[in-house]
Amino acid sequence: QTADPLITEVQDYASGFGDPVDAAPYGTPISHEAHVVRRNVEWLTESPVSSINFTPIHALEGTITPQGCAFERHHSGAIDMTKQDYRLMINGLVDRPLVFTFEDLMRFPRHITTAFCECAANGGMEWGGAQLEGCQFTQGMIHNMEYTGVMLRDLLAEAGVQTAGKWVYVEGHDASSNGRSIPLEKALDDVMVAFFANGEALRKEHGYPVRLVVPGWEGNMWVKWIRRIAVYDQAVEGREETSKYTDLMPDGRARKWTWVMDAKSVITSPSPQAPIRHGAGPLVITGLAWSGNGRVTRVDVSTDGGNTWAPARISGDAKSKALTRFHHDMNWDGSEMFILSRAVDETGYVQPTKQALRDIRGTNNVYHNNAIQVWWVRADGEVENVEIA
Amino acid sequence: MPANPLGLGRAALSEEIDAWDVAVLPDGTGLPVGSGDVETGDEVFAANCASCHGDFAEGLDSWPVLAGGDNSLTDPRPVKTVGSYWPYLSTVFDYVHRSMPFGSAQTLTPDDTYAITAFLLYSNGIVEDDFVLTNENFTSIVMPNADGFYPDDRAQTEYPLFTGEPCMENCLPGTPQVTKRAIDLKVTPTDADGKPAGTLPVLSDAPAIPAVVQVAADEAPAVPEPVAEAAPVAEAPAESAPVETAAADPALIAAGATVFKKCSSCHKVGEGAKNAVGPTLNGIVGHDAGTVEGFKYSNPLLAMAEAGLVWDEANLNAFLENPRSFMKGTRMAFAGLKSEDERSAVIAYLASLGG
């Protein structure tokens, strides 16, 4: 071992100046993290304005997703809207059809909630078999933010929902409008009309200035740039809730209104984009777990393909309907492993294997794949996405 | 609920509600008065929809196929169309009227929408070619897959199977073997070294000193993206672009590259670009209209090309400002760029691309 010049020699940064305080009034990540970005898969869609990209979850830690790398899904592109031009209408089966400005919304009682937003199609490419190399692509249609906003129930109370009203329909200002029907019970429970995420204004791509937050339910319902909330006695059955976001079953019929995202987890490192580079010895396995039905109470990890399991540590608070971080500290002997994680939520639901889901749903499904992910760790530390039997 | 507890907001006016509330529900709630027949629908569809969905609603490239797929829902590759899958006709009307054509939403009249809906019913073999769809007979149409949906039953059919104390030891009958490898498919985006895109960089093997020098030297601004976008611009032969302002302002060209994202779903540019919904646009600025090889132009465009239309800066500017006004009957389903800054930027960007 020779002396490390980084230690023995005075470095420029230890002698001269760093950046002044006016270098970056609203900062961006340091250039050395330039690989930590959202990525898309071009062959998935015909047009990038009606498409999706993926959160680099393999490179993030903790539970909060920075807005700047949180996955985006648009149906007609991210629109540029000002707070001055923003209007929100409530109509339908209400006593007082109303129009709110952004300033009006800021005068309702404010609340904070942390919630994961997962696209119903997260993992959809994996139904037929292992396809994509990396959890960014296989589980990265997810983000988790701390939102500040007003409760939808308070806005509805302002308009006065009539007794005939059973459904709330929410649509956006963008050209797709992406309307979705939500049963009144959920709308009056924990649905939020949000302006801030992670302490800052919503970014453009996340619905600036106002989006819907629907904790635990599929991301398509989290309407961005919301312009209208309508109360009806029935579901609108729009395009996104009939032709899309329904689950085709083996008998040729389809499940609809499959709103809840069931319990799921994934090891984010090691993973194909985050191989082991340090060789045998102490190894930190880290990952994410979540459930649309409540709190994650336990995550088990297996390193032998699911023959034996051990409980991982849940790090930090496990919040209901929010991403939960787990860690599993082990001593790697340098041999091949099949590593898996398995989430359990407060209802007692245990994340199933892909085969268990296929046995019920077949392989014509696109959505709601919450199966256990298998990573094959090779002796050289490289990691592959595989299926095993 | 308390009555009007805060007194915030103002009453929505009926004309405002009419402007925004265009939702049409399965029982016909929200249908505007109007009508359209199959034959008219064929024409309206050809003009507004066929550039993506095909003349027969068969779907070009990967754009949605809207017709056919009968009895395919149990096939290994089910074809989910308006006819084979959609349970309600109201969904077709609602979606077409509010969200189509793609890139030019909310431009179809109720009668156009009735006509397109009638044409789609005909394309799917649900009505005859003399059918006229109106707000009066709308709810009499029953879609073939109307009974094909049922509400989420996971709580009954799945949760009991997946609830309970899970196995912790000796859970498998034997040693697991690999049955599928994603790596075999080669469909993952990759970095230049062939690794999955975004793979974390090697730290310990990297020469530490050059990395530190780079930081201290502070020569490269911390934003790699504009550099990458500017690169092809710098290489493009500026002399082939006959527009004097082209290539003059790298910032304008970079801004134009961003604006062009609005166009890129239909138009491809750069090396190896192929015709898509629209023709390739390499070298378009200053070029005769209607001459990209292999692209099937609309008749109005061919007529104007015949009359000598050249895509100089002025003509491009006028076309981009309001495509349908500049070229009546154009197939370009794009509402246009209202901002002059955006138009000049995108033209500068196009001018910077070689032919």
CATH 1.10.760.10 fits B226-351, yes or no: yes
What are the structural domain ranges in chain B?
18-140, 226-351
Contact A272 B199 (CB under 8 A): yes
Same domain? A114 vs A228: yes
Q: Is residue A60 part of a domain?
A: no
User: At which of A231, A255, A279 does a domain end?
Assistant: A255
Nearest to A237 among B9, B26, B179 (CB): B26
Contact A234 B149 (CB under 8 A): no
Residue A313 domain flag: yes
* pLDDT tens digits along B44-65: 999 999 999 999 999 988 899 9
Q: Do A255 and B151 touch (CB under 8 A)?
A: yes
Inform me whether the C-beta atom of residue B291 falls under 8 Å from chain A C-beta atoms. no
Distance between A72 CA and the closest CA of chain B, angstroms: 15
What homologous superfamily is domain B18-140 in, according to CATH? Cytochrome c-like domain (1.10.760.10)
* Nearest chain A residue (CA) to B276: A46
CB contact under 8 A, B2 and A157: yes
B61: nearest CA in chain A? A46
Interatomic CA distance for residues A368 and A120, integer angstroms: 5
Residues A219 and A243 placed together within one structural domain of the fold: yes
Tell me: do A325 and A205 sit in the same domain: no
Q: Is residue A7, in this structure, part of any structural domain at all?
A: no
The verdict on residue A285 lying in a domain is yes
Task: Quote the CA–CA distance of B347 and A34 in Å, as a whole number.
Answer: 30
Establish if B102 touches chain A: CB-CB under 8 angstroms: yes
What would the mean pLDDT of A210-215 be, rounded to a whole number? 98
Per residue in A70-107, pLDDT tens?
A: 999 999 999 999 999 999 999 999 999 999 999 999 99
Range B267-281 average pLDDT: 82
Please give the structure tokens belonging to residue A203.
């970014």
Boundary residue ending a domain (A255, A278, A302): A255
**What ipTM does this complex have?**
0.95
Among A209-213, B148-152, B265-269, the range scoring the smallest mean pLDDT is B265-269
**Does residue B247 have a pLDDT over 60?**
no
Q: Are residues A80 and A179 in the same domain?
A: yes
The C-alpha of B319 sits at a distance from chain A's nearest C-alpha, in angstroms, of 21
Q: Structurally, how many domains does chain A consist of?
A: 2
pLDDT score for B355:
63
Query: Could you tell me the two tokens for B149?
Result: 């949906």
